[in-house]
Structure 1
Amino acid sequence: MKIKEIIVVEGKDDTVAIQRAVDADTIETNGSAISEEIIEQIKLAKEKRGVIIFTDPDFPGEKIRKTITERVPGCKHAFLPRKAAIAKNGKGIGVEHASVEDIRQALKNVYEETTEWNEEITFDELVAAGLIGGQLAKKRRQHLGEILKIGYTNGKQLYKRLQIFQISKEAFYAALEQVLQEEANDEYK
């Protein structure tokens, strides 16, 4: 599988994992303190070939994703479910721990940012769905993020990702129904 866009990852181990799974070039951020030089490389890459941001499904990875999104708007995004990124020994989480198949799957389900969107899911709908506030909100958001392939988010991030990736109300409510059904069946508690 050849990827035209340049994939932005956190480090060398991520590059090795990506290149095991697909034929692609990468830019490494070398951590969450992204230098101005790296931002300029990402801007140039986006202009010339396009960029896919593919960071670890953890707090530092989300911080990197947010920084790049703010500084280089219009990038594409690939998300890896947390459970697919956990090291075999249970100590560590990251793209470098994912299987070849999980990496390929994440890169098949890339989302593009957009600013023009009319079918907005409201913040109140997220609260009413039990995705913000309440004991099960975190688990529900995590499972919803896996189903929609938008990664784990907190409440504000979920609201924003639903908008920028144009998740339709139909897709959102179908995924929510699946989450609630599995919750009722105790499949992921």
Structure 2
Amino acid sequence: MKKIKEVLVVEGKDDTKAINRAVNADTIETRGSAINDETLALIEKLADQRGVIIFTDPDFSGEKIRKIVAEAVPNAKHAFLPKKAGRPGKAGGSLGVEHATPEAIRDALSHVYTETEAAPELISHADLVAAGLIGGAGAKRRREELGEQLQIGYVNGKQLEKRLRMFGIQPDTFAAAVAQLTPAKGDFRE
């Protein structure tokens, strides 16, 4: 079983159990999105000692936790679980790391990103519009697919440009992922 040196920041004990089935890693649990100061201080200390990877659920609460931890620990790494990998069975019901298969967890942890604060804009707003990712029929679905392709999680249209820049997604990587997306309404490519 693969050993991960960084400490994984997760939401709860069920996430820790799922991770332990997939990899050999230490975790720290936030116990929800109301992270107390003591837990945040511990995460900061662990980040200095071993590094941390934020690995939260692909939902609103998970993104809230990711944002809080990333603000406190700007050098934190990020791993993203696609929504479909964190949902047991069919759509609907609960969503999260605790429901992911060991393979899905290992895959997510094999694609870890580090934010780059001063990254240049490599993909413009116009590129996102042209790719059908902002402001059109099916844009939300295409962003969800793009997040899965690039393994950067789902974000709304306003945050997509920022996330692509933060993780240094290159134009050729972006173009290859866009080419794999389900065509947007009115897109007649073959």
Alpha-carbon distance, 1:156 to partner: 2.3
- The one-letter code of the counterpart of 2:129 is V
User: Aligned partners of 1:161, 1:109: CA distance in 2, in Å?
Assistant: 15
Greater mean deviation of Cα atoms: 100-109 or 114-123: 114-123
Partner of 2:110: 108
CA contact (8 A) 1:29 1:38 kept: yes
Compute the RMSD of aligned alpha carbons.
2.0
Give unmatched runs, 5+ long, in structure 2. none
Partner of 2:169: 167
Deviations 1:85-123 (CA, angstroms, capped at 9, x unpaired): 002375200000000000000000111111232352122
SS of 2:8's equivalent?
strand
Change (3 A) 1:185 1:157: closer
User: Aligned partners of 1:184, 1:122: CA distance in 2, in Å?
Assistant: 22
- The one-letter code of the counterpart of 1:56 is D
Change (3 A) 1:184 1:51: farther
Partner of 1:155: 157
CA contact (8 A) 1:55 1:64 kept: yes
Q: So what's the TM-score if we normalise by structure 1? A: 0.92
Q: Residues 23-62 of structure 1: matches in 2 within 5 Å?
A: 23-62=24-63
How many pairs does the alignment contain? 186
User: Aligned partners of 2:93, 2:183: CA distance in 1, in Å?
Assistant: 31
SS of 1:61's equivalent?
helix
Alpha-carbon distance, 1:132 to partner: 1.2
Of all paired residues, the percent bearing the same amino acid is: 58
Alpha-carbon distance, 1:18 to partner: 0.6
User: Aligned partners of 2:187, 2:17: CA distance in 1, in Å?
Assistant: 39
Alpha-carbon distance, 1:185 to partner: 10
Partner of 2:65: 64
SS of 1:33's equivalent?
coil
Alpha-carbon distance, 1:183 to partner: 7.9
Runs of 4+ in 1 over 6 A off after TM superposition: 182-186
Give unmatched runs, 5+ long, in structure 1. none
User: Aligned partners of 1:10, 1:119: CA distance in 2, in Å?
Assistant: 32
Q: So what's the TM-score if we normalise by structure 2? A: 0.91
